[in-house]
A = this chain, B = another copy of it.
Amino acid sequence: MSRQTDGGRRTPLNRDRVLRTAVALADRAGIEALSMRSLAQELGVVPMALYKHVANKEQLLDGMVDVVVGEVGAPAEDADWKSAVRGRVLATRQALLRHPWAARVVESRPGPTPGTLGHLDSVIGMFLAGGLSADLTHHAMHALGGRVWGFTQELFPAPPPSADPEVQAAVLREAAARYPHVVAIATAGAAHDGGSVVGAGCDDLFEFEFALDLLLDGIERLHRRGWTSVRPG
């Protein structure tokens, strides 16, 4: 249904249309369903036609990342550095959440794209504008790591969604014997989500902000102390 039917003549391909269709296809069918061949079919075109607009699949993925990065709005101007960074990171998180495949693809890129470099630049600029030294800012960026992109790789994405409550109980009993500590904190920490104990997810935003604030507060403390890295030259 999304196939082009403009009276036998197709609107000519261009890089932008290729990238946007790829993003839409990955959103709908999952990133594993995105191949040069499936994307070509989606565009009503033969696979080879794509290679006039993207050099190869790697460059296609780079381009898709920049489409998503482009969806992050402009940074706020007025606030202090800490809430400026905080806000920007959380805004990036929102953009990435709209495309479930995006976090994984960003991680998999072997190097920065223009879009991701621009994003890094804007976050670094906030630290520097707040008076942090280039040295502290450098390490702060490393410490934030994946969180600058608005995601954290979780220990494991989702707890197994077992339907039968009897099976759940049996699984839990066996797990408690083998991994007592895991079960202890899973049942304690997940209580707030209201669901069944074993299948309950965590409050992702809470966990994300918990770690983000732990890091930002620590960085602020170092900044106030005039911290510098003392290392052998």
Contacts and interface: CB of A to CB of B under 8 A. Distances in A.
A117 to B, nearest CB: 5
Nearest to A137: B185
A210 to B, nearest CB: 5
A128 B183 CA distance: 12
Interface in A51-98: none
A142 B202 contact: yes
Nearest to A204: B142
Contacts of A219: 214
A166 to B, nearest CB: 21
Nearest to A133: B188
A141 interface: yes
Interface string A112-144: 100011101110110010000111011101110
Contacts of A111: 156-157, 160
A180 interface: yes
A87 B231 CA distance: 21
Contact-residue bracket for chain A: 35 or more
Contact of A145 (B152, B185, B190, B217): B152
B182 A121 contact: yes
Given A111-B157, A148-B155, 18 more contacts: A111-B160, A112-B156, A118-B179, A120-B155, A120-B181, A121-B182, A124-B184, A128-B181, A133-B188, A137-B188, A138-B202, A145-B152, A145-B153, A145-B211, A146-B152, A146-B153, A194-B233, A218-B218
15 contacts: A116-B156, A117-B182, A120-B181, A120-B182, A124-B182, A124-B184, A125-B181, A128-B185, A138-B202, A141-B155, A142-B211, A146-B146, A192-B232, A203-B231, A206-B229
Interface of A: 107, 109-112, 116-118, 120-122, 124-125, 128, 133-135, 137-139, 141-143, 145-146, 148, 152-157, 160, 178-182, 184-190, 192, 194, 202-203, 206-207, 210-211, 214-215, 217-219, 229, 231-233
